[in-house]
Amino acid sequence: MILERLTVGPFQENCYILGDEDSGLGAVIDPGDEAARIALAVEQTGLEVASIIVTHAHIDHVGAVAALVDEYACPVLMHAEAETMLAQLPTQAVMMGLRFGRVPAVDRHVEDEEVLEVGNLRLRSLYTPGHAPGHLAFYVEGEGVVLSGDALFAGSVGRVDLGGGSMEVLMKSIEERLLTLPDDTIVYPGHGPATTIGDERASNPFLGGGGLL
């Protein structure tokens, strides 16, 4: 498995390039900004991008989607419940002093427990709302890896004060869909360093594991 992380844009968001050597096919997950830099990194992997996968429609996760669709002419995958937020991004960007540009079209709506094939890799979608509507995490079957989006971070959890957020819903998502994964599963979050499910279960202060809160 090829898995590369690029931290992009003013929000220091983690974009991931995922693929497998055998088929040469890959996916870009959450291209939030710096499309040219992402495209260069893709080129260096030698992968052919077959899809762009979005965990949720916050501006820092989708800012480079339209530019990369122009580059790869590949489908964009996202949960249907994230569409409203996606459509509001140009207006929201102006309020933040940013420019969003063209809203990308989503080609396929992904539901809970779907298996997305990226070459020989199998990404199982985990519906994990609470941080944002229609938030999805992706468990890479057989690789011991989960892309957790902004639901779970090393030592923290996603904020819930943006539109459609709920701490109660987020905690349920984390407990039922992420902490149920094997302890040695490596978590690659939307911001900050990687961690493991076991480490977060043991020490994440938001998860009642004996931390500070």
Interface residues with Zn ion (CB under 5 A) are: 58, 60, 150, 190
* Identity of the residue, 11 or 72, whose beta carbon is nearer to Zn ion in the bound complex: 11
* Identity of the residue, 20 or 150, whose beta carbon is nearer to Zn ion in the bound complex: 150
**Nearest-approach distance from CB 56 to Zn ion, in angstroms:** 6
**Nearest-approach distance from CB 190 to Zn ion, in angstroms:** 5
**Nearest-approach distance from CB 165 to Zn ion, in angstroms:** 9
H-helix or E-strand spanning residue 172:
helix 167-173
* Identity of the residue, 80 or 115, whose beta carbon is nearer to Zn ion in the bound complex: 80
Cβ atoms of 152 and 71 within 8 Å: the answer is no
Cβ atoms of 170 and 130 within 8 Å: the answer is yes
Inter-axis angle of helices 65-72 and 35-45, nearest 10: 40
**Nearest-approach distance from CB 135 to Zn ion, in angstroms:** 8
* Identity of the residue, 119 or 195, whose beta carbon is nearer to Zn ion in the bound complex: 195
